[in-house]
């Protein structure tokens, strides 16, 4: 758990410590589906007769396999390795990332994605506003700032590393592009697990939630042009693309100059739920986020009260109940 930015009274500290201890006990149960957690020099139980392969974060000492990192033991066939809990973001091809444009240079944008180096989004890897697939011209290069400019928040997909070592992104679909009218949150990337779906439309709130694999999370007003990315319905994708070609530029031209108050409140409420879960070092999933938001609504808490000490404790206690119930169902 990261250092909380709230002051807890004595009772709240005891309750929070008890909840976190319960969570630790649940994760360390022998019958738990979670992988075993280890610290440096802990012995990892293996069957040497199977010809175990020692991977990253492991070493051999006095005939025993010991951990050289703090993390979780992972096993893939005969390979045993330790996955660090607080590792930096390591891009993989196909990752959905959210980033911020920091520089516009000839034929490319440089994007900050919470990695050790900036990523590159080439003009040739970008879906143009008109939606037409064609060769980029000198005019397109001159109009690059009409697509993205410095400080714009964008969503893209990791394309891979090039020979020069640079990380390249691509945005060849209407589901990627510029993100507006929302909040960009930064959390530790190890709290985000790779899943099949990182785009979520929270219909009850009218909100688009994009959980980037790099630890950048976007919470913003729903954009109809991205319906196809949320539902992943290939049959409707072509229809949506034709209707929404040029949508990315029309938004900035005043098609809708404001965001409704209720939508802004929903954005702030969801963002505060993510901040609380991140501070408690809980894995971020759309289900857990919605449960936290609904708890705040049920308790009739104002948006700012969700960042109060009591709500942190309640969220931790709810997580214990959730894991207990899920454990009983599996049992």
Q: 8: Cβ–Cβ under 8 A, 6 or more apart, which residues?
A: 16, 309, 312, 313
CATH code, domain carrying 71: 2.40.50.100
Q: Residue 91: inside a domain, yes or no?
A: no
Give the least confident one: 13-17, 243-247, 298-302, 305-309. Answer: 243-247
Q: How far is CA 252 from the centre of its chain?
A: 26
Does 214 share its domain with 115? yes
Does 232 share its domain with 154? yes
Check residue 229 and give its pLDDT. Answer: 42
- Tell me the whole-structure pTM to 2 decimals: 0.78
Does 172 share its domain with 78? no
Question: 288: closest CA among 196, 193, 215?
Answer: 193
Check residue 228 and give its pLDDT. Answer: 40
Share of the chain above pLDDT 90, in %: 46
Does 106 share its domain with 204? yes
Q: Residue 15: inside a domain, yes or no?
A: no
How many domains in the chain? 2
Structural domain of residue 76, as residue ranges?
36-86
Give the least confident one: 59-68, 143-152, 240-249. Answer: 240-249
Last residue of a domain, one of 259, 276, 295: 259
Half-sphere exposure of 243 (CA within 13 A, CB side): 11
Confidence of residue 35 (pLDDT cuts 50, 70, 90): low
Q: Residue 315: inside a domain, yes or no?
A: no
Does 46 share its domain with 193? no
Per-residue tokens: 317: 């206690």
Q: What is the pLDDT of residues 167-210, one digit of tens each?
A: 999 988 888 999 999 999 999 998 998 888 999 999 999 999 99
Does 122 share its domain with 213? yes
Q: Residue 137: inside a domain, yes or no?
A: yes
List the Cα angle 130/225/109 in 5-degree steps.
Answer: 55
Q: Is 221 a residue whose pLDDT tops 70?
A: yes
Which H or E element spans position 234? Answer: helix 234-244
Confidence of residue 2 (pLDDT cuts 50, 70, 90): low
Does 56 share its domain with 163? no
Q: What is the pLDDT of residues 273-306, one digit of tens each?
A: 999 999 998 989 999 999 999 999 999 999 999 9
């Amino acid at each position: 758990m990261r250092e909380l930015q709230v002051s807890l009274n004595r009772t709240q500290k005891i309750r929070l410590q008890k909840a976190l201890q319960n969570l630790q006990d649940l994760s360390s149960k022998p019958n738990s589906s979670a992988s075993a957690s280890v610290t440096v020099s802990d012995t990892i139980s293996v069957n040497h007769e199977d010809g175990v392969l020692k991977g990253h974060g492991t070493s051999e000492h006095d005939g025993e396999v010991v951990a050289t990192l703090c993390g979780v033991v992972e096993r893939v066939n005969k390979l045993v390795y330790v996955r660090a809990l607080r590792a930096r973001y390591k891009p993989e091809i196909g990752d959905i990332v959210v980033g911020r444009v920091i520089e516009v240079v000839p034929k490319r944008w440089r994007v900050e994605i919470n990695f050790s180096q900036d990523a590159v989004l080439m003009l040739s890897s970008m879906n143009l506003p008109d939606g037409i697939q064609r060769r980029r011209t000198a005019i397109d290069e001159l109009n690059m700032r009409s697509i993205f400019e410095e400080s714009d928040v964008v969503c893209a997909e990791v394309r891979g590393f090039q020979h020069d070592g640079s990380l390249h992104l691509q945005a060849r679909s209407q589901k990627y592009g510029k993100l507006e009218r929302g909040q960009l949150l930064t959390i530790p990337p190890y709290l985000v697990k790779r899943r099949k779906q990182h785009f979520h439309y929270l219909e009850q709130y009218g909100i688009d939630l994009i959980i980037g694999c790099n630890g950048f999370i976007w919470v913003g007003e729903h954009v109809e042009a991205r319906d196809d990315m949320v539902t992943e319905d290939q049959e409707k994708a072509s229809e949506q693309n034709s209707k929404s070609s040029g949508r990315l530029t029309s938004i900035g031209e005043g098609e809708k100059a404001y965001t409704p108050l209720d939508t802004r409140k929903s954005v702030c409420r969801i963002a505060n739920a993510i901040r609380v879960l991140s501070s408690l070092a809980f894995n971020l999933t759309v289900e857990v986020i919605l449960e936290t938001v609904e708890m705040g609504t049920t308790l009739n808490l104002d948006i700012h009260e969700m960042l109060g000490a009591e709500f942190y404790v309640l969220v931790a206690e709810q997580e214990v109940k959730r894991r207990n119930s899920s454990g009983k169902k599996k049992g």
